[in-house]
Amino acid sequence: MKLAPIKLKNQAVVKADYESTALKNARIRKLNILKTKQEAIEKFSNNKIGGKAAKKKMGATSASNTGMKVNSGKGFQLGEKITKESQGIKLLQEGYLQSFIDFFYLTTETTPSMIVPSQKLLEEYKMNKSEKNHFEMSEESLEQLSEDLVQAENYLRDGHTIECLQQYDKVAGAYKKLHDYETASYFYNRCLEVSKEAKYIDGEAEAYMGLGSCEEEVFNIFESMKYHEIALEKAIDGNLRKIINTISKELIKVYNNIAKNYEQKEDFDKSLEYFEKCLDACKKANDPVMEAECYFKIGTIYEKMEDLSKAIEFVEKFLDLCKSDDKPPELKAKENKFKSNAYKRLAELHSKLGNSTAAISNLEALLGIGIEDQNKQGQAEATLKLGLLNYEEGILPISIRFLGKHFDLTRTLKDQNLKEGASKGAPLIDGSVVDISRVNLGIAQANQQIDKYFKLIMTDVHSVINYLDDPKAENDKK
């Protein structure tokens, strides 16, 4: 049997049939994919998130273990890897030019700095004593940074100045935590620009304060002072009591550091100038503890300048503040310590001026605090000085009484420290301290006996002369 020949289709017809089938199959696959996506979206939103409100946020929600992102308008999309380039492009595409500029600076570490690190800081970097950390380029960090910048720009566009400043301040604070004060200064300057544009004086004051804090951290102490002083002027102009208080506290640290630096250089005029500025800042900040310490330091500077009367004046102001009835709790907690320092210093100053009565009075007050606090070390110091000062004044009975107390206290302290020093780490009192105390007491007692003999001789001088002329005759009389 002969088979009939097979009729082959024209090649063009075959190709057309194939393309038709392929298109049909592609449409079917596309419909199936869309159907599957829709079912998955509905299932995910109902089971994993729940509610219509959650669907609105699905664009930012990642499906668990899928590597995909859910979007309420577009369905599932393969998650794109977030990079600094992709985020930058996205910011530009969405019209956030300022955010793009800031983001570009931050992610390429080319941020224009408002401050110049001091030579001291650069040396510490070289010696690894200080370290500036870098922004972490993780997907999460990049996304969060761009969101913060966009949020700030949106607030700025909508005229919400305070919220905009809060966002920029947040970014600045994050870089301060990284010890990247140059970048932080850029965002404090952004805060300043926004505040000036909006004529928002609170923001200006806080921005200047932020710039000042960055300068302080990089050891530019005078630049820090300049920014803080401008901040204080702005706060005073706006009668911003809370901000005045905060800035004044910062200025206390700045002025105190400058004053101490000048003191170390023995430039006492400059040191005095900045301690007085510090004192004024303490009053504005309502900081009685630092105010008291400033009075004391000013007294110390005057003493170094050999103006003892002025030194006494300021140490007495320090003491008056410590003794005031309405002192705050933070000063009350240090009251006896501060008063002890004042009485000790006043005793020394009055002694230098030759006013022994005032010196003794202050030492007796110092001893009283030592007894009240059961501070044997303080008592020993006071009794020694009282004994020596009374000895110099020729008041030997009182001198001996205080030197005797000092001798007893040193022996007690020596025994106590021998028992407890090893376990508590207390410094041991050397036996020589007790020996010196014994010698001081012995000399005073000996001089008292000599004084007695001298007085006895002076009351019966004629008998002494006769005795020296003829001892036998005097003995016969007896």
* Torsion-angle region of 376 (φ positive above 0: left; ψ -120 to 50: alpha; else: beta): alpha
User: Using 50, 70 and 90 to split pLDDT, how confident is the model at 134?
Assistant: confident
Domain extent listing, the chain:
83-119+126-239, 392-420+427-478
Three-class DSSP category at 288: helix
The helix or strand, by DSSP H or E, that contains position 71, with its residue range, turns out to be strand 68-71
Residue scoring higher pLDDT (72 or 81): 81
Topology, domain 83-119+126-239:
1.25.40
- At residue 230, the pLDDT reads 97
- At residue 39, the pLDDT reads 42
User: Which pair of structure tokens corresponds to residue 190?
Assistant: 């952004």
According to DSSP, the residues that pair with 61 across neighbouring strands are 70
Contact present, 76 and 69 (Cβ < 8 Å) = yes
Tens of pLDDT, residue by residue over 186-234, are 999 999 999 999 999 999 999 999 999 999 999 999 999 999 999 999 9
All residues at 6 or more sequence positions from 386 whose CB lies less than 8 Å from its CB, including other chains: 360, 363, 364, 367, 398, 399, 402
- At residue 243, the pLDDT reads 95
Tens of pLDDT, residue by residue over 23-65, are 454 455 445 434 433 443 343 334 333 333 333 332 333 333 3
- At residue 55, the pLDDT reads 32
To the nearest 10°, the Cα dihedral for 47, 49, 50, 56?
Answer: -130
Tens of pLDDT, residue by residue over 381-440, are 899 899 888 888 888 888 888 888 888 888 888 777 666 654 455 545 555 666 676 666
CB burial of 236-267 (b: ≥16 within 10 Å; e: otherwise) equals eeeebeebbebbbbbbbbbbbbbbeebbeeee
Nearest by Cα to 371 from 336, 328, 399, 342:
336
User: Which pair of structure tokens corresponds to residue 372?
Assistant: 């009240």
Contact present, 191 and 207 (Cβ < 8 Å) = yes
- At residue 30, the pLDDT reads 44
* pTM score, whole prediction: 0.69
- At residue 406, the pLDDT reads 83
All residues at 6 or more sequence positions from 344 whose CB lies less than 8 Å from its CB, including other chains: 362, 366, 381
User: Using 50, 70 and 90 to split pLDDT, how confident is the model at 161?
Assistant: very high
User: What average pLDDT does this structure show over 354-379?
Assistant: 93
- At residue 403, the pLDDT reads 84
Residue scoring higher pLDDT (10 or 55): 10
